[in-house]
Chains A and B, each alone.
Chain A
């Protein structure tokens, strides 16, 4: 009877080593395998997190190595939470988050619904639609600045074509009322395909037999959509919202390239503000507290959301 690969490997193990391993429990062997990963996780994630929390209670500034570091208690947290500028950036971030997610889910789901239908050139259209998310956000930010240019920008000309307005009469990234929408549009253009792909996976996971059964019961297409498609694709939709929510909460590169946070502070999102505090003003203690607040916010919201997501999945 031929030996299995495991038996072959066991036979080749030196006797001394085999005896030593034989003495180890399964639990110990499991720890030996897991230990390097845990060590890496501790070094790269947990230690910096604990260090950041510690720094957040000090007035440490990384650009003043000669200055004494004082323990300031909750002072950094109080300053941040009572600073109207910080709340303005929170508002700008909330506006960006809500609108990008709403538009991306709406358009992404509609595209997925269309692409899910069998038609000629289906694959080609999928590839074309997915193209924007393959680009670097910095590149996208850069070329949207050109698209938004009042004198040469395609966007202004398209708007002008439909409205009859002079293309040079409005500036998407220079106007306080339009700039928040300029970043929403650019991000939606870039990331709707991602939402579409997740929704497509959801739609394709629904067995045809369910629709066939619904057809037998003479359910209309409209009823099938609301009672079958939406509930069954809902976990996927919620997953897309979670991914985009987390990503857009820390949005930085695209917006910096597009508006630099302006005009004024109109498009200064929390990540941009945090970067300014940490690496331009070099207020390390203060920015650590800021980072902790953002971390707790995202972590808390995401935890609540994941619980809701699991409940939806269980239904």
Chain B
């Protein structure tokens, strides 16, 4: 009888403690929604986040939107103070609007309280993804995905002796990774319309897309390297002579020439996915694209496994720069689950999580990972990624970035693809458009 009473008591205690624990976990557990673009790295993040779910007891939901409608959908969400997203991996250009319009939570105090320092991250990513105003210690995001425009090329084609000989005869140099954008243009021209193994191939797949940001993300890689600057370094928003400098005109002309003589027919509206398709299907010798695609290229049966080489955007007369991509992760100020969202950021900032992020196909910006001795040799594209991240420049991140971007898309597409007017007229027009935007904003 005593034993029976003891057993009953023990069982009751166990049941009570289980109920209490479950209740405590349930009270603590939160379902967090993370919003990002629908692309390969997002799948890696789902995988990575399983570890967070195990550790924290929270559950993660994901809202991924294709790149071409990502900005429309997510900026709509933020502008309407929507509560769909607790965490937002927003584009780098949104940081100004996110901060000034109160969409993102300022993270300085949180970083200080949890020992997270921005010195641990690649400086370009901190400036590009986290700071507003730029170059001030006001942080609204943690660098989440480091990305940059770079190039892939068909190494197996480049190594063919007959092509090597012909290229040497035509251009007087070895068919190899181009040292300049001029050389890249020559290579694209060389491959344009060439017959390789019974198939007609073309030079390069470059960004030409009209609807979102494509042609801008492409053309800037030529503009930067020929002397284009967004503004007078000594006088903010002073554009004349910087946006439309002689160098900038030459850079824009080069991009148009590359489009005219070295790209596949019909590539007038191509962005990331079209370029990937063209490259993987063996249509082009060179591909401009963000580095996020490189793990997928390497794993591809046809073009991967040593058939592809990777290199940073080649230099121009004014230096070597590349268009920054990538995003930071922010806590949405309209979320009522901010504590759990901050927990996620704290977890994500850990070096072992960042290392795992790289292993799964993500692109960390934590210096402990990317500056480790074995990083450059860890993947065939790792060195090109590091070299590219060292030369980045980004588009405007002003709250009015969308107005600035749309004007750029229009001017660049009109000149490069539609062939309307001259490069000088296109850039002069861009100065007028941007000036009008800054006047509307009260900054001029």
Contacts and interface: CB of A to CB of B under 8 A. Distances in A.
Interface-central residue, A62, A149, A262, A281, by most chain B CB under 10 Å: A262
A261 B211 contact: yes
Contacts of A168: 200, 265-266
Given A261-B211, A266-B418, A280-B72, A66 B267 contact: no
Nearest to A85: B410
Contact of B418 (A149, A151, A262): A262
Tell me if A's interface is mostly helix, strand, loop or mixed. loop
B351 interface: no
B265 A262 contact: no
B420 interface: yes
Contact of A62 (B71, B79, B209, B264): B79
B58 to A, nearest CB: 30
A276 interface: yes
A280 B406 contact: yes
A171 B79 contact: no
Contacts of A65: 79, 81, 101-102
A171 B268 contact: yes
Contacts of A264: 210, 410, 413-415, 417-418, 420
Interface in B184-222: 200, 209-211
Contact of B399 (A62, A64, A260, A276): A64
Interface in B346-375: none
Given A64-B101, A65-B101, A66-B102, A174 B269 contact: yes
Given A66-B102, A176-B418, A265-B414, A260 B269 contact: yes
Interface string A252-286: 00001001111111100000000010011111000
B261 interface: no
A151 B410 contact: no
A282 B200 CA distance: 44
Size category of the B interface is 35 or more
Contacts of A169: 265
Contacts of B317: none
Tell me if B's interface is mostly helix, strand, loop or mixed. loop
Nearest to A264: B418
Nearest to B199: A151
A303 interface: no
A63 B420 contact: no
Interface-central residue, B266, B268, B410, by most chain A CB under 10 Å: B266
Contact of A256 (B211, B406, B418): B211
B165 to A, nearest CB: 27
Contact of A148 (B100, B266, B406): B266
A261 B71 CA distance: 18
Contacts of B200: 151, 168
Interface-central residue, A64, A65, A170, A264, by most chain B CB under 10 Å: A264
A63 B97 contact: yes
A184 interface: no
Interface in B399-421: 399, 402-403, 406, 410, 413-415, 417-420
B311 to A, nearest CB: 26
Given A151-B266, A276-B406, A279-B72, A263 B210 contact: yes
B283 interface: yes
B75 interface: yes
Given A148-B266, A171-B268, A264-B414, 5 more contacts: A65-B81, A66-B100, A168-B265, A260-B269, A262-B417
Interface of A: 62-66, 148-151, 153, 168-171, 173-176, 256, 259-266, 276, 279-283
The 5 closest A-B pairs by CB, nearest first: A174-B268, A264-B418, A262-B210, A260-B211, A150-B265
30 contacts: A63-B78, A63-B101, A65-B81, A65-B101, A66-B100, A148-B266, A150-B266, A151-B283, A153-B266, A169-B265, A170-B265, A174-B268, A176-B419, A176-B420, A256-B211, A260-B209, A260-B210, A260-B269, A262-B210, A262-B418, A263-B269, A263-B414, A264-B210, A264-B410, A264-B413, A264-B414, A276-B406, A280-B72, A280-B402, A281-B402
